[in-house]
A and B are shown apart, each in its own frame.
Chain A
Amino acid sequence: MKRYYYIDDEVDTIKSIADGINESNVVHVDVFPLAKFKEFDKLTQQLRNEWNDIDGLILDLKLNGGGDDSTKFTATSLAQWISSYVVVDHKEAKPIVLLSNDLQCANFKADITSHDLFDMVLERSGGLDWKEFARKLAVLADDYDELNQSKEKNLSELLQNDSIDTSSTYFAPFLEPAVFNVSQFASFVLNDLFIHPGLLISEELLAARYGVDMDKSGTAWNNFKTKYLGVAQYRGMFGRIAERYWSKKAQEVFAQITKGKNAASMTTIQRVTSLKTYSEEAKDLVAYEPSDKDISTYCWAIDEVTKKPLDSSTGYMIQEEGGLKSWQEPRFLSFDTIESGNKGDIRLVPSEQERYNEDLAALDD
């Protein structure tokens, strides 16, 4: 069983969290005795000593918070040290998970460049599903292990896709096994490919591009997905963390089912009608139709809050942390979501916020 160290200045609190995770019996979490190593150099020396005996780390963001074992540094500083230590001392990389009850603090939100240091970032104050969390910890540690052991670091194998374009700039950092950085690759998959639509898309976006209303289709969608879309599902490294699909492959599958039709040029109703024409498994699918009949159903995106299909030409672009990379698509909110005040802490691109304000004003005219 993979073993994690949990480092937090609030010892009593995290003991119960560790116990909760350990009950799952898929991964083991030990509370790190921070009281003995509150100085940065002592802590890092201890981590050096035990590096080969652990498989990952769970860190609290504010190690310099108000806990009994408060230190003078944060998780970010420690994660940066680990990142350098692994490279300089040629050590195996391990997953680092940030588990904090204050991710909204200004320092963390502003320190964008540090976010990629963490493989997973979770708010512990919410209703976290500890069993699912434990499962993900195990997957992270397993796949890190596999990455560390892989000699060839072959991208097609790691991503389980024979047709990836390795000449693309975004794969360039991972083509040379000698300089392959495991943590960087993990961050690429977990933070870039999984979170932003682009090469990979979520199940909700997949359904939108097939024109399907997931809620109304119920099991029919699952049956259809099982029958046709397994070939498009991402099964590479960390693929058990999140259900993702290769966007290009998913489009090819649509074209195969419908004898060459291009989903991108059809409405949601046309897509589902076309699927039903050619596939018995599609007969119970329900096409997405917004309640307002004036809203476009040429949906190729989703609303990031409701996860409902959305025509991106009508949506408002979200401000992405650190900007978009070339293989990533913008993400959107619908007018209704913004107007309803349900966008949470998602921010719009400033010019899009201005456009929304004007659209709202035009509505009032």
Chain B
Amino acid sequence: MAKIKYNSVVLSQASSLEKAVGFLRRTLGDVAWLHKLSEAASSIRANCKGDDWSVQIDDMEMPIENPKHLKPGRLSGNLKMFVSISMEGSGKEWKEKKDCIKSLRFKVEVLEKNQNDAQKFFQTGFHIDKMDSKYDPSEMHPLYHVHFLNDSLIEGTEVLAMDVPRLMHHPVDVLLGILLVYANYNQTGYNKLLQDGNFMGLCRVSAQHILSPYYQSLSKIPWVDGSVTKSDEALCPYLTV
């Protein structure tokens, strides 16, 4: 039996990014980070040999609007945000609407502009990751989780810092990640995106292939013998009985 190829899925990933560039430029204006999506699309196409694809986009500087409850307040208007994503996907699993993400690291960093004083270092953010085998097994990691960062240093004294919980969170791809960031950090841009049926259409496709399998697995809680896979259980280890 001939092996089914998934090149069309892989090329559709590149196409989605190219389309997103056109849609986002129209909706958000000529934002500088869009060229990184084009580069990522080219990279997917250039490396399209098998059935999988990978995306690596570093430090897309996206505009952050003044966050609520910001402390210190003087940082208002003085923050910048960088978004990065590294992801590998499976064409076969995408096509079959199963968990298609082989690896994921989606990272958002928010920091003070013009950090000249080494004694006053403000930085926060979060990442959404897929656990991989390199993680310390003594720490509980839901398969997909969000983890918050706080690396601020104030007046030469480190703030209380410890691991905050790794909370279950659905995976994201580039487009869902962009939507998530705008939804949380840029209300003006988010409202524009919601009115862009073309961009939302791309996100809808991503949601069908990435969110649906995740929540279908998650909906099996409480775990029932025989109906769960290791992957289902890994979504939230502490609920596994």
A positions within 8 Å CB-CB of B:
168-169, 198, 209, 248, 251, 262-265, 296, 298-301, 311-313, 316-317, 324, 326-330, 349, 351-352, 354-355, 358-359, 361-362, 365
Bound CA–CA A49/B148 (angstroms): 75
* Known A-B contacts A264-B194, A265-B194; A351 and B201 likewise in contact (beta carbons under 8 Å): no
Instruction: Check A301–B11 contact: CB distance below 8 A.
Output: no
Residues from chain A with a CB closer than 8 A to the CB of B200 are: 264-265, 298, 300
The answer, among A296, A329, A351, for a CB contact under 8 Å with B23, is: A329
Residues from chain B with a CB closer than 8 A to the CB of A264 are: 194-197, 200
Shortest distance from the beta carbon of B203 to any chain A beta carbon, whole Å: 9
Bound CA–CA A330/B202 (angstroms): 14
The answer, among B22, B45, B195, for a CB contact under 8 Å with A317, is: B22
- B83-103 CB contacts (< 8 Å) to partner A: none
Residues from chain A with a CB closer than 8 A to the CB of B18 are: 317, 349, 351-352
B positions within 8 Å CB-CB of A:
2, 4-8, 11-12, 14-16, 18-19, 22-23, 25-26, 29-30, 41, 45, 194-198, 200-202, 204-205
Instruction: Check A351–B194 contact: CB distance below 8 A.
Output: no
Q: 17 A-B contacts, Cβ less than 8 Å apart?
A: A169-B30, A198-B26, A248-B195, A264-B200, A300-B198, A312-B23, A312-B198, A313-B19, A313-B198, A313-B201, A326-B29, A326-B30, A354-B11, A359-B8, A362-B6, A362-B7, A362-B8
Bound CA–CA A103/B103 (angstroms): 51
Residues from chain B with a CB closer than 8 A to the CB of A355 are: 8, 11-12, 14-15
Instruction: Check A365–B5 contact: CB distance below 8 A.
Output: yes
Shortest distance from the beta carbon of B52 to any chain A beta carbon, whole Å: 15
Residues from chain B with a CB closer than 8 A to the CB of A248 are: 195
Residues from chain B with a CB closer than 8 A to the CB of A209 are: 197
Instruction: Check A312–B19 contact: CB distance below 8 A.
Output: yes
Residues from chain A with a CB closer than 8 A to the CB of B8 are: 355, 358-359, 361-362
Instruction: Check A326–B204 contact: CB distance below 8 A.
Output: no
Q: Interface SS of chain B: helix, strand, loop or mixed?
A: helix
Shortest distance from the beta carbon of B197 to any chain A beta carbon, whole Å: 3
Q: Which residue of A lies closest to B42 (CB)?
A: A351
Residues from chain B with a CB closer than 8 A to the CB of A352 are: 15, 18
Residues from chain A with a CB closer than 8 A to the CB of B195 are: 248, 251, 262, 264
Bound CA–CA A262/B192 (angstroms): 11
Bound CA–CA A262/B194 (angstroms): 8
Residues from chain B with a CB closer than 8 A to the CB of A313 are: 16, 19, 198, 201-202, 204-205
The answer, among A312, A351, A365, for a CB contact under 8 Å with B14, is: A351
Instruction: Check A365–B205 contact: CB distance below 8 A.
Output: no
* Known A-B contacts A326-B30, A330-B19, A358-B11; A301 and B198 likewise in contact (beta carbons under 8 Å): yes
Residues from chain A with a CB closer than 8 A to the CB of B2 are: 365
Shortest distance from the beta carbon of B44 to any chain A beta carbon, whole Å: 10
Instruction: Check B201–A312 contact: CB distance below 8 A.
Output: yes
Instruction: Check B19–A317 contact: CB distance below 8 A.
Output: yes
Shortest distance from the beta carbon of B225 to any chain A beta carbon, whole Å: 36
Shortest distance from the beta carbon of A346 to any chain B beta carbon, whole Å: 17
Bound CA–CA A326/B30 (angstroms): 6
Residues from chain B with a CB closer than 8 A to the CB of A251 are: 195
Residues from chain A with a CB closer than 8 A to the CB of B5 are: 361-362, 365
Residues from chain A with a CB closer than 8 A to the CB of B4 are: 365
The answer, among A263, A329, A354, A359, for a CB contact under 8 Å with B22, is: A329
Shortest distance from the beta carbon of B104 to any chain A beta carbon, whole Å: 21
Instruction: Check B22–A300 contact: CB distance below 8 A.
Output: no
Sample of 12 more A-B contacts, CB < 8 Å, known A169-B29, A326-B30, A365-B2: A198-B26, A209-B197, A298-B204, A300-B197, A300-B201, A311-B201, A312-B198, A313-B19, A330-B23, A351-B11, A355-B8, A362-B5
Bound CA–CA A248/B30 (angstroms): 18
Shortest distance from the beta carbon of B22 to any chain A beta carbon, whole Å: 4
Shortest distance from the beta carbon of B223 to any chain A beta carbon, whole Å: 34
Bound CA–CA A263/B195 (angstroms): 8
Residues from chain B with a CB closer than 8 A to the CB of A317 are: 15, 18-19, 22
Closest 8 CB pairs of A and B: A300-B197, A264-B197, A358-B8, A355-B11, A330-B22, A313-B201, A362-B8, A312-B198
Bound CA–CA A180/B12 (angstroms): 43
Bound CA–CA A326/B12 (angstroms): 23
Shortest distance from the beta carbon of A197 to any chain B beta carbon, whole Å: 9
Shortest distance from the beta carbon of A162 to any chain B beta carbon, whole Å: 20
Shortest distance from the beta carbon of B189 to any chain A beta carbon, whole Å: 15
Bound CA–CA A262/B23 (angstroms): 17
Bound CA–CA A251/B25 (angstroms): 19
Bound CA–CA A169/B25 (angstroms): 12
Bound CA–CA A358/B8 (angstroms): 5
Residues from chain B with a CB closer than 8 A to the CB of A354 are: 11, 45
Shortest distance from the beta carbon of A365 to any chain B beta carbon, whole Å: 6
The answer, among A296, A312, A316, A326, for a CB contact under 8 Å with B25, is: A326
Shortest distance from the beta carbon of B112 to any chain A beta carbon, whole Å: 28
Shortest distance from the beta carbon of B233 to any chain A beta carbon, whole Å: 33
Between B4, B14, B16, B19, the greatest number of chain A beta carbons within 10 A of the residue's beta carbon is seen for B19
Residues from chain A with a CB closer than 8 A to the CB of B26 are: 198, 326-329
Instruction: Check A298–B22 contact: CB distance below 8 A.
Output: no
Shortest distance from the beta carbon of B156 to any chain A beta carbon, whole Å: 43
Q: Which residue of B lies closest to A301 (CB)?
A: B198
Residues from chain A with a CB closer than 8 A to the CB of B23 are: 312, 329-330
Bound CA–CA A299/B204 (angstroms): 12
